[in-house]
A and B are shown apart, each in its own frame.
Chain A
Amino acid sequence: MNRATVIARREIGSYFHSPIAYVAMTLFLVASGISFLNDFEPGQPAALRSIFDWMIWFLVLIVPILSMGLLSQEWATGTIETLMTAPVGETDVVLGKFLGSFGLLVVMLIPTLLYVVMLRIYGHPDAGPIISGYLGILLVGALFISVGLFCSSLTRSQIVAAVASAAILVLITIIPWFVGSKAALPKFWRTVIDQAVFKRYTDFSKGVLDLGNVVFFLLSTAVFLFVTVKVLESRRWK
Chain B
Amino acid sequence: MIEVSRLTKIYGQVLAVDGISFDVPKGQIVGFLGPNGAGKSTTLRMLTCYLPPTSGGATINGFDIFHQSEKVRENLGYLPENVPLYTEMRVEEYLDFRGRLRKMDRPSRRQRIDYVVERCWLGSVRKRLIGHLSKGYRQRVGLADSLLHNPAVLILDEPTVGLDPTQIRETRKLIKDLGGQHTLLLSTHILPEVEAVCDRAIIIAGGRIVAQGSPDELRASRRLTARVLVECRGPAEQVKTALSHLSGVSKVEVTESDGHSNEKFVTAAVRPKEAYDVREEVARTVIQNGWPLREIRLEHATLEEFFVQVTANQAAARVEPGSDA
Residues from chain B with a CB closer than 8 A to the CB of A103 are: none
From B45, which residue of chain A is reached at the shortest CB distance? A81
Residues from chain B with a CB closer than 8 A to the CB of A236 are: 51-52
77-115 of chain A: CB within 8 A of chain B: 77-82, 84-89
Question: B78 within 8 Å of A by Cβ?
Answer: yes
Residues from chain B with a CB closer than 8 A to the CB of A13 are: 89, 93
| Chain A 44-60 near chain B by CB (<8 Å), digits 1 or 0 | 00000000000000000
Q: Return the contact of B97 from the options A10, A81, A235, A238 (Cβ within 8 A).
A: A10
Cβ-defined contact, A89 with B88, below 8 A:
no
Cβ-defined contact, B101 with A88, below 8 A:
yes
- Of the stretches B79-87, B182-190, B271-279, B288-296, the one at the interface is B79-87
Are A86 and B73 CB-contacts (below 8 A) given A1-B100, A10-B97, A18-B88?
Answer: yes
Question: Min CB distance, A99 to chain B, in Å?
Answer: 15
Residues from chain A with a CB closer than 8 A to the CB of B48 are: 85
Question: Min CB distance, B21 to chain A, in Å?
Answer: 22
Q: Could you tell me how many residues of chain B have their Cβ less than 8 Å away from some Cβ of chain A? A: 30
Cβ-defined contact, B84 with A77, below 8 A:
yes
Residues from chain B with a CB closer than 8 A to the CB of A88 are: 101
Residues from chain A with a CB closer than 8 A to the CB of B86 are: 10, 14, 79
Cβ-defined contact, A85 with B73, below 8 A:
yes
Question: B300 within 8 Å of A by Cβ?
Answer: no
- Give bound CA distance, A44 to B300, whole Å: 89
Question: A222 within 8 Å of B by Cβ?
Answer: no
From A74, which residue of chain B is reached at the shortest CB distance? B84
Cβ-defined contact, A85 with B49, below 8 A:
yes
Cβ-defined contact, B51 with A14, below 8 A:
no
Question: A156 within 8 Å of B by Cβ?
Answer: no
- Give bound CA distance, A190 to B71, whole Å: 53
Cβ-defined contact, A82 with B85, below 8 A:
yes
Question: B281 within 8 Å of A by Cβ?
Answer: no
Residues from chain A with a CB closer than 8 A to the CB of B89 are: 10, 13-14, 17
Q: Return the contact of A86 from the options B71, B84, B102 (Cβ within 8 A).
A: B102
Cβ-defined contact, B100 with A87, below 8 A:
no
Q: Return the contact of B145 from the options A14, A18, A82 (Cβ within 8 A).
A: A82
Q: Return the contact of A87 from the options B11, B84, B102, B142 (Cβ within 8 A).
A: B102
95-147 of chain B: CB within 8 A of chain A: 97-98, 100-103, 142, 145
From A17, which residue of chain B is reached at the shortest CB distance? B88
Q: Could you tell me how many residues of chain A have their Cβ less than 8 Å away from some Cβ of chain B? A: 24
- Give bound CA distance, A3 to B103, whole Å: 8
From A84, which residue of chain B is reached at the shortest CB distance? B50
Q: Return the contact of A82 from the options B51, B80, B88, B93 (Cβ within 8 A).
A: B80
Q: Return the contact of B100 from the options A6, A14, A78, A235 (Cβ within 8 A).
A: A6
- Give bound CA distance, A121 to B185, whole Å: 68
Q: Return the contact of B70 from the options A17, A79, A87 (Cβ within 8 A).
A: A87
Are A81 and B100 CB-contacts (below 8 A) given A14-B86, A18-B88, A87-B74?
Answer: no
From B71, which residue of chain A is reached at the shortest CB distance? A87
Cβ-defined contact, B80 with A86, below 8 A:
no
Are A14 and B85 CB-contacts (below 8 A) given A84-B50, A88-B101, A89-B70?
Answer: no
- Give bound CA distance, A236 to B80, whole Å: 18
Residues from chain B with a CB closer than 8 A to the CB of A197 are: none
Q: Which residues of B come within 8 Å of A, CB atoms?
A: 11, 45, 48-52, 70-71, 73-74, 76, 78, 80, 82, 84-89, 93, 97-98, 100-103, 142, 145
Q: Which residues of A come within 8 Å of B, CB atoms?
A: 1, 3, 6-7, 10, 13-14, 17-18, 77-82, 84-89, 235-236, 238
Extra inter-chain contacts (11) besides given A79-B86, A82-B80, A82-B85, CB under 8 Å? A3-B101, A10-B97, A78-B80, A78-B82, A81-B50, A82-B84, A85-B49, A85-B73, A85-B78, A87-B71, A238-B11
